[in-house]
Structure 1
Amino acid sequence: MNKSASTILIEESNYFLEVYLDPFNNRIRIDDYRGNTNLLLERAEELARKHQVEKLIMKARSEDFIHLYEKGLQPEAVVDRYFLGSDAHFFSKFYTVERKKSDHWITEDGMIHSIYQLDTAIDKPFPPKEYELKKADESCSEELSELYSKVFQIYPTPLHDPEYVRKTMKEGTIYYVFFQQGKIVSAASAEVNSFYKNAELTDCATLKEHRKYGLMKIILRDLEGELKRQGIFCAYSIARSLSFGMNAVLFQLGYKYRGRLMNNCYIYDKLENMNMWVKNLANC
């Protein structure tokens, strides 16, 4: 199996599966399904064995919650209103002892506790005038890739490749960026699921020397505004559990903590746990 990720659709007489094969992160994710849950889970496990992955993830509906427990999967996180207003439960199954171990879990629990003590009545940041916020287009793809290469040694998707950035834009991902002296210094995106009306706020990156101006909060607020204009109210974000700054930004923007995905993906410089944060944009 090569290192590029791909989505496959499996349609049988009594079930349907949409599966994201992710060899780089050594995992398989079931993004959508319907039909006979026993049979589709068997097929998912077959794929996990075939591709020798270490983790299987399933975005499950509330109705299947207990059944997935019986099948040996465990809940890790929830996204309120993900499926056109119904909750999605992120269940996982691990296939190696190493993938199920975490040295940082207790530290990360403490960090969530600390973050919930922060003041949420934070003034809106006003960066210096030379910072200019824009919605990115395909002409920005080279510079965006450069930014992600500088901020992340390792990233779970190939954002270091400008062609990949262009492809995501064509598929509906929205990028907002801050320019300073003509160069992109901060960026984030909203990966829109137009069928289920949800969006993942992701790809958050700011060059170190520009982090003191609160640029990311401004970008995320503008992305939220764009989503609301499209009638999308379920917004969620998955942040590195060891990154106090990013988790704090999400909390202060009104996101609620909804669980932790263990050893979820390779990001920054290693395989990391990721915190789930969720916000109902209809309430703001």
Structure 2
Amino acid sequence: MTNDAHDEQYYTMETIQENEFTLQLCKDPFNKRLRVDDYLGNVHAICLRLAKLLENDPFTKLFVKAREEDWRTFAARGYMLEGVYTGYFDGRDGYCMAKYTDLERRTSDHWIEEDRILEQVLELEPKMEREPLPDGFTLRCGTPSDAEELAALYGLIFQTYPIPMNDPAYVAHAMEEGTAFYVVEHENKLVSAASAEINGVYRNAEMTDCVTLPAYRGFGLMRQLLQALEEELLSRNIRTAYSLSRALSFGMNAVLAQLGYAYQGRLTKNCDIFDKFEDMNLWCKTLQDK
């Protein structure tokens, strides 16, 4: 996603081009992290440049989506493998290589509890079939005219969120940039929503911004939304999907597992969500093989 005036307080997208490499970076001061979305060139030189960035900026976490042939080089420079983005690079795996500058950020507060939740989730039976919506509910594609109501929905549920989804201008901007939204309505009110942030270059999408009002949980709405988004992605020739879910959330992890997403790792204190930095489970799914 490109930058817009109203989201620069959260992050900036930058391209650094030098003789030996090119880096595509997301500088994210709100979440105190530096993310490398893409790169090309000499990995040793890239690591040196990133080390300089960590010295001068207030980031406590850096992570790189590394290619298969490079992840060991990042590991040799002190990076840790936290997860594998299955099929991220147009069918080839991406490796989440992380580095921390702060011990508190590096240390998980709930790892054992999250392991217990994961064990319970992995025991669940798949629920791949598409079920009809309950009476009175409508599922449809989101449009920019929904931005105001969507922002209110996210602001109501999340005390803090990694990106400004409580800002209608940001939501509308995300749609303009190609993010697909699906929503569920009940009595002309939005009660649940989810989105897919699409990377057309590498034919992947992040299933994200999943939210349901508490009174409407238990109806299977999120499963319906993700299935609709998967169909939308297939129509756009996207081959793989992934999602980052709060490791402390049984419900969201259960939805992903039952829809055939595979657990691929846990990213420690990855973002500020629900008023604190939380560990996020990585789930991946192949939508098409060719």
1:129 aligned onto 2:135: yes
Q: Quote the residue 1:73 is aligned against.
A: 79
Partner of residue 258 from structure 1, selected from 257, 264, 287: 264
Match of 1:212 in 2: 218
Label 1:276 to 1:208 Cα distance change in 2 as closer, same or farther (>3 A): same
User: What is the aligned counterpart of 2:155 among 108, 128, 149?
Assistant: 149
Q: How does 1:171-210 map to 2 (within 5 A)?
A: 171-210=177-216
Is the CA contact (8 Å cut-off) linking 2:91 and 2:239 kept in structure 1? no
Match of 1:212, SS? coil
1:57 is aligned to: 63
The answer as to whether partners of 2:128 and 2:260 remain within 8 angstroms in 1 is no
Per-residue CA deviations over 1:22-52 (Å, capped at 9, x if unaligned) read: 0000000000001011111111121222212
> In 2, distance between residues paired with 1:121 and 1:199?
21
TM-superposed deviation, 1:113: 1.2
Structure 1, gaps ≥5 residues long: none
Question: For residues 126 and 109 of structure 1, what CA distance do their matches in structure 2 show?
Answer: 33
Structure 2-normalised TM-score? Answer: 0.95
Which gives a bigger RCO, structure 1 or 2 (Cα 8 Å, sep 6+)?
2
TM-score by length of 1: 0.97
Residue pairs, 1:1-284, within 5 angstroms: 3-121=9-127, 124-282=130-288
Once residues 155 and 278 of structure 1 are traced to their aligned partners in structure 2, the CA distance between those partners, rounded to angstroms, is 22
SS in 2 for 1:29: strand
2:194 touches 2:207 (CA, 8 Å); kept in 1? Answer: yes
User: Is contact 1:56-1:92 (8 Å) kept?
Assistant: yes
- Measured after TM superposition, the shift of residue 103 of structure 1 is 2.0
Aligned length: 282
RMSD: 1.2
Share of identical aligned residues, percent? 44
- Whether the aligned pair in 2 keeps the contact of 1:235 and 1:280 (CA below 8 Å) is yes
Q: Unpaired runs of 5+ in structure 2?
A: 1-7
Is this contact kept in 2: 1:197–1:231, CA < 8 A?
A: yes
Q: Is the 8 A contact 2:38 2:65 kept in 1?
A: yes
